[in-house]
Amino acid sequence: MRKPASEKNQSEIAYEVLRQKLLNREFAPGARVRYGPLGDEIGMSATPVREAVGRLVSEGLIELVPQLGAVVKRPTITDTTELYEMREAIEPFAAAKASQFIAARQLKSLQATLDTMQILHRSVLTGKKQAMEVSARFDKSDLKFHQTILNAVNNQRMLTVVGDFHLLTEIIGAARHSYSTEVLEMTIDDHTQILKGLSKRDAEWTRKAMTVHIQNSRQLTLNQLQSECPQ
């Protein structure tokens, strides 16, 4: 039986809210996701929330545990390795292709995003903020940087696939860093090299810069997970 359009819409809304909460670290790995309270918070019944959770289960972000129900999955080293392998296989190619199509307004947006990351970094260096205080905003800028590049590819399938891979690694890696100034600086340096390649419309430079960035990010994530996660 086909569901009413309104119910579909509510399920989609619940799905987006849940994904954003994962990105914002509102649900830590191992935390329970309660359908009723979450539905009350969003303003809907538990049914569309349950459907949204089902989608996140299929994506490997939530798991159904006997006696507990829906629980945010604790990422394993295998999960993380597989995701980064997929990103490294596809995203450098996507970035290289973007270098041939990216518009001036998108380059400007990338620079503005990088400027934001640098401002956040400086606020930590000067002692105005602690690294963890800026982590959510820094991650949001990081994700926006990559999404802007993907939007320039002009390939909807690639945008969807690579965009999902990146979002999954952002969610899995949400609690991975100590957010030292070195981590922030390395990410900024990587992005600077990517933007330089895009600005020069140099496909090979951009491809190499993106490869290095993904490898660096993978290593940071795995270093953190090795001491706390099962294989």
Domains, the chain: 5-72 (1.10.10.10), 77-225 (1.20.120.530)
Q: What is the mean pLDDT of residues 73-81?
A: 83
Q: What is the mean pLDDT of residues 191-195?
A: 98
Residue linked to tokens 């090795």? 226
**Helix 77-101 to helix 203-225 angle, to the nearest 10 degrees?**
160
Pairing of strands 69-72, 62-65: antiparallel
The pLDDT-based confidence of 173 (bands split at 50, 70, 90) is low
Q: What is the pTM of this model?
A: 0.80
Name the residue with higher pLDDT: 96 or 231: 96
Phi, psi of 67 (to 5 degrees): 75, -15
Question: What is the rounded CA–CA span in Å between residue 214 and residue 48?
Answer: 35
User: Residue 139 corresponds to which amino acid?
Assistant: D
* pLDDT score for 5: 43
Q: Quick check: 173 and 217 in contact, CB under 8 A? A: yes
226, with CB counted inside 10 A (0-12, 13-18, 19+), is exposed
* pLDDT score for 2: 43
Tokens of 176: 């991975």
Q: What is the mean pLDDT of residues 137-144?
A: 88
Phi, psi of 51 (to 5 degrees): -65, -40
* pLDDT score for 100: 95
pLDDT at residue 75 tops 80: no
Question: What is the rounded CA–CA span in Å between residue 146 and residue 164?
Answer: 11
The pLDDT-based confidence of 1 (bands split at 50, 70, 90) is very low
Q: To the nearest whole percent, how much of the chain has pLDDT over 70?
A: 90
